[in-house]
Amino acid sequence: RQHSFTVEGGENLPASGPVVLASFHLGGGFRVFDALIARGLRPAFLRQPFGGSPSAYERTIEAARARYFATHLGDRLIAVGPDARARLQAHLESGGAAVALLDVAPASLGLRDRVRVSFLGREIELAAGLMRLANRMQIPVLPYDGRIEDGRRVLTFHPASRAEDPEQLLQATIASLE
């Protein structure tokens, strides 16, 4: 799998230690985990469990994702829920990396900690808890994205977002992804 993608901005990744990586759902797919693991980082993924009544297609996709996560992340797949913050904090304190997708509507997850940010000239509401955790722990937040170029996946790790408070940190991260 390492030969199926290219990494840009690899120098922005820490050699070790905790880091939060943030993107959107179309930001790079599973290859971000492959890139991080290849560099010796231990990524965890903060993820919303699939709910509702999925179609046969959705069940098939979910089963493939579950196999990938079980093989490559094991117990580092962290479901959004009551114990997510504690598990995420423990993982980061142990020097792990956390990958999160920011474009999930916080209301759909039942999250109370949300802020309004500007994205592509519009106001949107995003969850702020991960940024609060990173800010409190003084952990770098690296935006990343992915694209297909000449039939090949390209992952780009941007310089760390910087800000004094969590809301500004989230806005800086969003600005980098814009």
| Beta bridge pairs of residue 140 | none
**118, pLDDT greater than 80:** yes
- Residue appearing with tokens 């995420």: 88
Q: What is the pLDDT of residues 58-85, one digit of tens each?
A: 889 888 888 988 898 988 988 877 888 8
Give the separation between CA 63 and CA 132, rounded to whole angstroms: 32
Per-residue confidence band for 163, with pLDDT thresholds at 50, 70 and 90: very high
178: closest CA among 164, 161, 165, 163?
A: 161
DSSP string, 88-131: HHHHHHTT-EEEEE--S-HHHHT---EEEEEETTEEEEEE-HHH
Q: Number of C-alpha atoms within 13 angstroms, CB side, residue 92?
A: 26
Element (H, E) at 141: strand 141-149
Rounded mean pLDDT, 32-41: 90
**42, pLDDT greater than 90:** yes
pLDDT at residue number 49: 66
Q: Which residues contact 10 (CB under 8 A, 6 or more apart)?
A: 35, 39, 157
pTM of the full predicted structure? 0.87
Rounded to the nearest integer, the mean pLDDT of the chain is: 87
